[in-house]
Amino acid sequence: AQSVTQLGSHVSVSEGALVLLRCNYSSSVPPYLFWYVQYPNQGLQLLLKYTSAATLVKGINGFEAEFKKSETSFHLTKPSAHMSDAAEYFCAVSPYNQGGKLIFGQGTELSVKP
Amino acid sequence: GEEVAQTPKHLVRGEGQKAKLYCAPIKGHSYVFWYQQVLKNEFKFLISFQNENVFDETGMPKERFSAKCLPNSPCSLEIQATKLEDSAVYFCASSQSGQRTDTQYFGPGTRLTVL
């Protein structure tokens, strides 16, 4: 079964610092991976997705993620954090042959200090 | 519409009462997904539809949960005889074709509180 694991339920960075949110996947077939962001009391918004084209994927709001097969990872990064980046971030995988449903990681809450 | 709409925003029910949640997918999207989010994380897949047909219901607690997507009507998720553990935020999402590469667009959710 395909799954994702997010390391660290809470990450705190200073404004302007590098953001690194970790996601590792488990899959016996090429995975399709997603990063979503959830702001308080809102639904999920897609940041970026990996669908087996380029391994470095650029998303919205300055975020990017790199698919590394050797490390089974798809970590999310942003060079310089803004206060507005404070939110919950979810990594997800779309399992093979299951109609596009998403299996989510546990989520990582990002706090940004002034 | 351009966004997934969910109603109501909040729903409070006493244990044992019925709860019904609604979702209007983005126009032109053929797939609808329901997810349950408990305690601010832990998204759990419940059910998906291809148009009005159930595509995957492997996540549904079958005894009390049911869902429908009828033509020209919002999709619905109904919980008969709610329990305390049903308290959660229920999200609906839609996508164009249900392929693994498709983006799912999420609604704002319905917060269900069971007292």
pLDDT tens, position by position, B4-28: 999 999 999 999 999 999 999 999 9
> Rounded to an integer, what distance in angstroms lies between the CA atom of residue B100 and that of residue A47?
16
Q: How near does any CA of chain B get to the CA of A39, in Å?
A: 10
Q: What is the mean pLDDT of each run of 10 residues along chain A (114 residues)?
A: 91 98 90 93 92 90 95 96 96 87 94 96
Tell me how many residue pairs between chain A and chain B have CB atoms under 8 A apart: 69
> Rounded to an integer, what distance in angstroms lies between the CA atom of residue B99 and that of residue B77?
23
Contacts of A9 in chain B (CB under 8 A): 41
Answer whether B109 sits within 8 Å of A43, measured CB to CB. Answer: yes
Q: Which residue has the higher pLDDT, B56 or A98?
A: B56
Q: What average pLDDT does the segment B66-95 reach?
A: 95
Answer whether A101 sits within 8 Å of B50, measured CB to CB. Answer: no
Answer whether B104 sits within 8 Å of A49, measured CB to CB. Answer: no
Partner-chain residue, chosen from B56, B91, B93, that has the shortest CB–CB distance to A98: B56
Residue keyed to tokens 């918004």: A45
Confidence band, pLDDT 50/70/90 cuts, at residue B39: confident
Residue keyed to tokens 């009005």: B52
Residue B62 and residue B84 in contact, taking contact as beta carbons nearer than 8 Å: no
What is the radius of gyration, based on Cα positions, of chain A?
A: 14
CB-based burial, A24-35: b 16+ in 10 Å, e otherwise: bbebeeebbbbb
> Rounded to an integer, what distance in angstroms lies between the CA atom of residue A54 and that of residue B21?
39
Residue A102 DSSP SS3: coil
Residue B100 reports pLDDT greater than 90? no
Length of chain B: 115
Partner-chain residue, chosen from B35, B41, B97, that has the shortest CB–CB distance to A107: B41
HEC letters along A10-74 = EEEEECCCCEEEEEEEECCCCCCEEEEEECCCCCEEEEEEECCCCCEEECHHHCEEEEEHHHCEE
Encoded amino acid at A69, one letter: K
- Across the strands, what pairs with A34? A49, A92
Q: Which residue has the higher pLDDT, B111 or A31?
A: B111
Partner-chain residue, chosen from A32, A95, A99, that has the shortest CB–CB distance to B101: A32
Residue A84 DSSP SS3: helix
